[in-house]
Every structure is written in C-alpha cells, then in structure tokens.
Amino acid sequence: MTQLPNLLTAARLLVAPYILYLLWTGGYRTALVWFAIASITDVVDGFLARRLKAGSRLGALLDPIADKVLLSGSFLVLGLKSVIPFSLTIFVLGRDLMILSFATLALARKTRRDFPPSVWGKASTAAQIAYVLFAVGHEAGLAPLAVVVILGWITFVLTVWSGIDYARRVS
C-alpha cells in the first residue's frame, strides 16, 4: 500500500505520451478523459503519500517530472497546434526552464538545497491543469470559450508570479 503513490505517479508519466499523441492528432474528447484522470492522480498520489506516510525520494523526484512531462508537453502541443496562444506556452515553458536551470546550477555547485513547492507553484499548477482541461474541452465542443480565456489569463498571472517567487526564494 505504501507504493501506491509512486505507482500513480508512474502511471501518470506512462500515460502522458498517449495524451500528447491524442492532442496532436485531434482526439480531444479522449484526450480530455485521459488528461482528467492523470490530473486526478496528481492530487491523489500526494494525498496518499502524506496520509500513508509513504513519501519517498523516488516519489519526490518522479512527481514533478511526471507533472512537467504532462503539463509542459500539453502546452507545447496545444501551442504548436494553435489551440492555445503560443505566447502563453512560452511563459509556461520559460518558467519551467528557469526552475530547471536553478536546479542544475545547484547540482553543479554541489549545494543541496531543498525548495519545497510554494503555494504559488501549486496554484500555478492547478491553474495550468484547469486551463488545459477547459481548452481541450472547448476543442471537444464541451466548454465555453469565455471560460478558457479567463483561465488563460489566470494561468498567465500565476505562472509569472510563481516564477518570480521561485527566483526570489533561490537567490
């Protein structure tokens, strides 16, 4: 039972390429279902890890990787297909690259510093998930464009703010 959070994270990582394929080929309804399931596993694996006291180094490493593969990949595909503004894709991927750069520098300097996720990082991730769900839902004919536009602006603001917060915390 203590491995369940890691199994959910691994499942999210494994299903991500299929979701990205569905997005690329226009299988929006199926992609919406799989993306929603994958997003739920992101919440559930963290909850179970805390509840079962089953946190692990593997889970701490795999969870953000699974998140980035699924979310960054989704933003990239949707941006390239002009489903979402490519400028928003650039901000989301730019923030992630900035965080990766800081982490790489810390490893190169052999300085071990932990940066637990901030409330702004979690809010940014939640907004990105909601935005992708509604953008894909709109392409599938299930969500109104107005909601997608509003979520896009919320995602932009939280992505930029969480990037600033992260840069501030590491300096």
d(C-alpha 32, C-alpha 27), whole Å: 9
Contact assessment for residue 74 and residue 142, using Cβ atoms and an 8 Å cutoff: no
Measured CA to CA in angstroms, residue 85 lies from 13, 131, 155, 159 at distances of 25, 12, 12, 14
Domains and CATH numbers, the chain: 4-170 (1.20.120.1760)
| Helix pair angle (86-108, 145-170), 10° resolution | 20
| Helix pair angle (119-139, 145-170), 10° resolution | 150
Task: Name the region of 82 (left: φ>0; alpha: ψ -120 to 50; beta: rest).
Answer: left
d(C-alpha 156, C-alpha 169), whole Å: 20
Which pLDDT tens digit goes with each residue over 38-82?
A: 999 988 888 887 887 767 777 777 888 899 999 999 999 999 999
Which pLDDT tens digit goes with each residue over 111-150?
A: 665 666 789 999 999 999 999 999 999 999 999 999 999 9
Contact assessment for residue 15 and residue 40, using Cβ atoms and an 8 Å cutoff: no
